[in-house]
Amino acid sequence: MISKNYDVVVVGSGVFGIWSAYKLHAAGKRVAVVDFENPAHHLSSSGGESRVTRCSYGDVETYTEWASRSISDWQALSAKTRIPVFHQVGVLRIHKKNDESVMASTRMLERYEIPFTVLSPSELREQFPVMQVRDDEAGFFEPQGGALMAKRSVQLLAANLAQSGVVFISGLVLPIQQQQGYKGSLPSVTTVDGDRIDAEQFVIACGPWLDQVCPDAMAGRLFVTRQEVFFFDTNVNATGALPVWSDLPFYGFPSFEGRGFKIANDTHGCFVDPNTMDRNASNEGEADVRAYLRDRFPAFANAPLSETRVCQYENSSDGHFLMDRHPGFDNVWLVGCGSGHGFKHGPAVGNHVVDLINGTKEPLELFLLESKRLQQDRIVL
């Protein structure tokens, strides 16, 4: 039995769990974090090299607000270390002219006074000569966006927390079952080694394993998809001053820290189990990316592949996060379903967890468990 009178035990040390722990600790809670591996380990969804942050989300105000508010936390974390956590190089979205979601984003960013620029095809060609741009396209540039160094940021935050007294417990938490409850609450979680960890409240932030830890609550509501990422060995000078860019379904990053020009396809892959999925990128995936390169970045079409990664999105049916009370226990909070866009919101997720636990805010409608369906029908951009 591990009983240290914790106020909150956070299960999962990915970006959602670690920022929750950070904000709870900052709010004066006695916090412990449990994970079966190190923070942002290679199988976790937060374990990649880089993640895009941007504030444009069409007309979904919550994400614009959360992404925007999170930026100062990312900057503060980045300022604490000599190794950057946030490369604030801007984010460029290439889109068809008069795209409705981009128009909605411009209205929302204006409301929040978040800077952006709209670029014509000729301006795009002039600024980013490495890109091939058609006359019916346009650019939408957010200078405050950029690339978060994903794994590094989670690990730095975890190290910071450990130094300030937050306890990290190594253990695989067993599935939480209804019969463990006492008067509607969960007294403890149990690890595979038989340790029982007591707390007043529990935050279950288990990413793509959320349905394995909370099978009754999630029951078919988590869609874990296989996603491939490719890095190409391009001449850095050839990429020019490229920002992070999105050109859906493809998106990518200039080479940071010599890693290579990164491209990924945001289209959801097949359903997988994060423990057993094939983590080798496919020839088909590479061929799709190269076909895209030929069209948009012809100079890089034959660039040698320098690295690949295969990770997973932990999607809800609609693409909105899940942040709600467990239906079986009044002191257990489900925090997950980042759905391929959650990373940037880590700090705001942490703030909301504090509000939920303190009872100062109700769960948001967008993030309720009951809004999650048994079939995917994504609406988030």
Q: In Å, what is the CA distance from 369 to each residue of 20, 43, 253, 304, 321?
A: 19, 25, 34, 44, 9
Give the nearer residue to ligand FAD in terms of CB position, either 9 or 131: 9
List, as one string, the DSSP characters of 61-85. Answer: HHHHHHHHHHHHHHHHHHHHSSS-S
Residue 356's nearest CA partner among 315, 321, 323, 313 is 323
55 near ligand FAD, rule: CB under 6 A: no
- With contact defined as beta carbons under 8 Å apart, do 9 and 203 qualify? yes
DSSP state of 59: B
70 near ligand FAD, rule: CB under 6 A: no
Buried b (16+ CB within 10 A) or exposed e, 15-28: bbbbbbbbbbbebe
16 near ligand FAD, rule: CB under 6 A: yes
Residues 6+ apart with CB under 8 A from 59: 104, 105, 107, 108
Give the nearer residue to ligand FAD in terms of CB position, either 139 or 336: 336
Other Cβ atoms less than 10 A from the Cβ of 278: the count is 10
Contacts of ligand FAD in 98-137 (CB under 6 A): none
Contacts of ligand FAD in 205-224 (CB under 6 A): 205-209, 213
d(CA 323, CA 330): 13
Residue 77's nearest CA partner among 260, 358, 350 is 350
3-state secondary structure of 52: strand
Site string for ligand FAD, 311-330 (x = CB under 6 A): xxx-----------------
Min dist CB 207 to ligand FAD, Å, is 2
List, as one string, the DSSP characters of 122-191. Answer: HHHHHH-TTS---TTEEEEEETT-EEEEHHHHHHHHHHHHHHTT-EEEE--BPPP-GGG-BTTB--EEEB
341 near ligand FAD, rule: CB under 6 A: yes
Q: Which one among 35, 73, 211, 247 touches ligand FAD, defined by CB under 6 A? A: 35
262 near ligand FAD, rule: CB under 6 A: no
Give the nearer residue to ligand FAD in terms of CB position, either 234 or 312: 312
Phi and psi torsions of 309, nearest 5°:
-140, 145
Min dist CB 62 to ligand FAD, Å, is 14
Q: In Å, what is the CA distance from 301 to each residue of 51, 226, 241, 286?
A: 23, 24, 19, 11
Give the nearer residue to ligand FAD in terms of CB position, either 98 or 333: 333
Min dist CB 187 to ligand FAD, Å, is 17
d(CA 315, CA 225): 8
Structure-token match 């349905």, residue found = 211
190 near ligand FAD, rule: CB under 6 A: no
Stretch that binds ligand FAD, among 138-146, 179-187, 282-290, 332-340 (CB under 6 A): 332-340
Give the nearer residue to ligand FAD in terms of CB position, either 44 or 56: 44
Q: Which one among 24, 31, 33, 52 touches ligand FAD, defined by CB under 6 A? A: 52
d(CA 341, CA 334): 17
Site string for ligand FAD, 222-241 (x = CB under 6 A): -----x-x------------
Interface size with ligand FAD, residues (CB under 6 A)? 39
51 near ligand FAD, rule: CB under 6 A: yes
Stretch that binds ligand FAD, among 30-38, 132-140, 291-299, 361-369 (CB under 6 A): 30-38
273 near ligand FAD, rule: CB under 6 A: no
Q: Which one among 6, 9, 17, 226 touches ligand FAD, defined by CB under 6 A? A: 17
11 near ligand FAD, rule: CB under 6 A: yes
Q: Which one among 46, 64, 190, 201 touches ligand FAD, defined by CB under 6 A? A: 46
d(CA 197, CA 113): 45
Please give the residue ranges that form the binding site for ligand FAD (CB under 6 A): 11-17, 34-37, 41, 44-46, 48, 51-52, 172-173, 205-209, 213, 227, 229, 264, 311-313, 336, 338, 340-344
